[in-house]
Amino acid sequence: MSHPIVTDTCEPTGTADVNRGQLLTRDHSQATDSALPARKEGARYFEATYRVRTGDVDQDMRVRLDAAARYLQDIANDNIDATDLGDSDPFWIVRRTVIDVISPISWPATVTAQRWCGALSTRWTNMRVRLTAEHETNRFNPEPREPGLIESEAFWINVNDQGMPSRISDNAFELLSSMTDEHRLRWKSMNPEQAPDEEGASAPDREHVLRSTDFDPFKHLNNAAYLEAVEDELVDHGDLIEGPHRLVIEYLRPIVPGTPITVRRVREPRRLLLWMLIPGDDAEYQVAATASVTKR
């Protein structure tokens, strides 16, 4: 169920240039161990609630990272529908998503999502979403659990109907800029973009099989589908997600139906790095996306 845009009265506790389609300027993104910026006092935000379903969780009842990404997509769509942005600024693409799992969310529960602009420039924004959950019990998960908390930030680029970065409309800029004092957002990658060679990886490359259901009506791989590949890897790295952890995924190149994906990974003491590779024009691999999961 969606709710109107509201105004915050207090902050809850607990917590560029474009060249060939790639952003090359720097931004003020948080370092790996830095907390995401708090909401500006009194800033407006959009709120919606979603039920946690069994299809959102793993075998331990934990809400998976790909499910959290779907909540972020849902509230983004609901937010646009509740404003005039659907007419003036209808097309946005995600360049990066940061998901900080501070206290895990599990089933059964209702998730409350709050969304606001944390920073922006004339063509892109950092949209913050806070996910909180009051857990319930049932016969399958009868033990009481602490409330869940996930903080997130996504770098959204406003594009035109040709998919090229475009200026945010005056009305949209006025709305978004009222939520933040950071109006000079720039880009800087948070993950290493260059993949190591096979000899430098921690394990042999593996293929990640895509399905037709992973693609949207525009023949783009759904952002959440990328995180299914990450979840496949976390099965062997459960220590990284036993407590608070951060996921950072950066989307570098589109993946279209029929494209084979090769996953290369490096395990460090407190971090898992992933590169999703696709065939290039010269038979060499190109990096389509990078991901990292860091124990915090």
* pLDDT the model gives residue 284: 87
Tens-digit pLDDT profile for residues 119-132 = 999 999 999 999 99
Whether the full predicted model's pTM is greater than 0.85, yes or no, is: yes
The residue-averaged pLDDT of 216-228 equals: 93
- Mean pLDDT across the stretch 157-166? 93
Give the model's pLDDT for residue 196: 96
Q: Which of 30, 195, 28 is nearest to 98 (CA)?
A: 30
- Residue 280 is classified by DSSP as -
The helix-helix angle for 223-234 and 65-81 (nearest 10°) equals 160
Mean pLDDT of the region 175-198: 96
DSSP state of 238: G
CATH 3.10.129.10 boundaries in the chain: 46-178, 198-295
CATH for 198-295 (3.60.20.10, 3.10.129.10, 3.40.50.2300, 3.40.50.300): 3.10.129.10
Beta bridge partners of 62: 106
**Looking at the domain that runs over 46-178, which CATH code has it been given?**
3.10.129.10
pLDDT value at residue 32: 60
Place of tokens 């509740």: 82
pLDDT digits (tens, 9 = 90+) for 243-256: 999 999 999 999 99
User: Which distant-in-sequence residues (6+ apart) come within 8 Å of 281 by Cβ?
Assistant: none
| Residue 243 half-sphere exposure toward CB, CA atoms < 13 A | 3
Residue 211 has pLDDT above 70, yes or no: yes
| Residues with Cβ within 8 Å of residue 152, at least 6 apart in sequence | 36, 68, 72, 97, 98, 99, 100, 128, 129, 130, 131
Mean per-residue pLDDT, 177-201: 96
pLDDT digits (tens, 9 = 90+) for 23-46: 323 333 444 678 999 999 999 999
